[in-house]
Amino acid sequence: MKKILILGSTGSIGCQALDIIRENKDKFSAIGLSCRSRIDNLINQIREFEPEAVCVGNAEDAKRVQNEFPHLTVYYGDDGLVQLANIDCDIVLNSLMGISGLAPTYRAIEMGRDIALANKETLVTGGALITGLCEEKGVKLLPVDSEHSAIFQCLEGNKGREVRRILLTASGGPFRGRSLESLKDVTVEQALNHPKWSMGSKITIDSATMMNKGLEVIEAKWLFDVPADRIDIHVHPQSIVHSMVEFCDTSVIAQMGLPDMRIPISLALNYPDRLQYGGSSLDFFTAGKELTFEKPDRKVFKCIDLAYRALEEGGSYTVAMNGANEELVAMFLKGEISFLDIPDTIEKVMNAHKPGKAASVEEILNIDKEARIMARELVRR
């Protein structure tokens, strides 16, 4: 019986993970849960899964949950997430949004817990810090993103073999094939209309700008120790091939399947074994009739090049880029800025950024805060 802590249990990944736990009660138990604001959903999860501890976004919600469950340990806020990460468990599923996932992940690794990572910003901002600590503590870092899980699966059984390229696939998002001019008046509703995946609002906007793919390039560099110039993005609108690995002999191994996040989640939670799953099989006579690949349009989706640039600059640049992006996406979702203000302002933040030390969680969070302030100031001007 694996004891699982789910950070972000009311989001898309967290709910699907609980579906897997519900269907495999002989294998898993949800020992801890967290959410920021969907308290009614969390209360229902507590009743069903009976965790030992939970974390919510603020003190008022913590009081409400505590009154409902007097014997439950209840934490709140960002500090509460770190406290929750101290819980005795076998694996931590981090499906939090943004840089909020960094500190609790670091703490969980310090405690020797394996990590199932669906929070790419943890590695985007703290890649060297997190991977170094994993190595020191002997902790497994298991990817949950469909693309990185695919790469992970392609590399299984090929340890020590030279990788020529990682071929990172992308659906292309809702604006694939559009011109830069046509994106000037994009609405929030249009940007949230992803053609293939059902995700949270932040990651869906990142997919629309293709910053999500840039962040995944950075994440792949840290997960698989492959330099950025050997990570190529391939737009694949059918979302059947989840990513590929080319080896030194030019042989390419791909991982394929229908778009279904339960597959990479279950693999990470039950690693090294696979779980039985009743989902639909991939029918190549229908879904596989046409599998196409395109180069991303980097002139339209310049967030891709901004991510490659941040990775090349190294150090605090990925932190500044990520912080600016998170702040600007939030502003766009509130209707405060236009869609194209997101990449344009990120570029300005990066141009103005003064490199700083990013060797600890505290230093990374300070740089993140500065980048957010700068992004808002630049928009205000």
Question: Element (H or E) spanning 342, and its range?
Answer: helix 341-352
Percent of the chain with pLDDT over 90: 92
pLDDT tops 70 at residue 328: yes
CATH architecture of 314-381: Orthogonal Bundle (1.10)
> H or E element: which one contains 28?
strand 28-34
Determine the residue type at 210: M
Alpha-carbon distance values, 118 to 42, 305, 353, 372, 380 (Å): 19, 23, 28, 23, 33
Residue 299, pLDDT score: 95
Share of the chain residues as helix, strand and coil, in percent rounded to the nearest 5: 50, 15, 35
Phi then psi for residue 241, to 5 deg, are: -85, 115
Pair 5, 14: CB distance under 8 Å: no
In sequence order, which ranges of 280-340 are alpha helices (DSSP H)? 303-313, 317-333
Concatenated DSSP letters of 206-237: HHHHTHHHHHHHHHHHHHHT--GGGEEEEE-T
What is residue 250's predicted lDDT score, i.e. its pLDDT? 97
Q: Residue 249 contacts by C-beta under 8 Å, 6 or more apart in sequence?
A: none
Are 110 and 133 spatial neighbours (Cβ–Cβ below 8 Å)?
A: yes
Per-residue tokens: 112 = 């020797």
Element (H, E) at 165: strand 163-170
Q: Report helix angle 39-49 to 12-23, nearest 10.
A: 20
Q: What are the pLDDT digits (tens) for 330-380?
A: 999 999 999 999 999 999 999 999 998 999 999 999 999 999 999 999 999
pLDDT category, 144, cuts 50, 70, 90?
A: very high
pLDDT above 80: residue 152: yes
DSSP tag of 259: S
Model confidence, pTM: 0.95
For residue range 75-109, list pLDDT tens digits in order.
999 999 999 999 999 999 999 999 999 999 999 99
CB-based contacts of 136: which residues, under 8 Å, 6+ apart?
none
Kindly report, residue by residue over 41-55, the tens digit of the pLDDT: 999 999 999 999 999
pLDDT score at 237? 94
Tell me which DSSP letter residue 282 carries.
P
Residue 160 neighbours by CB under 8 Å, 6+ apart: none
- The answer to whether 148 touches 170, Cβ cutoff 8 Å, is no
206 with 212: CB under 8 angstroms?
yes
Work out the pLDDT band at 197, boundaries 50, 70, 90.
Answer: low
Taking the C-alpha atoms of residue 115 and residue 123, their distance in angstroms, rounded to an integer, is 12
Kindly report the CATH number that applies to the domain delimited by 2-143.
Answer: 3.40.50.720
**Domain assignments of the chain as residue spans, ordered by start:** 2-143, 148-313, 314-381
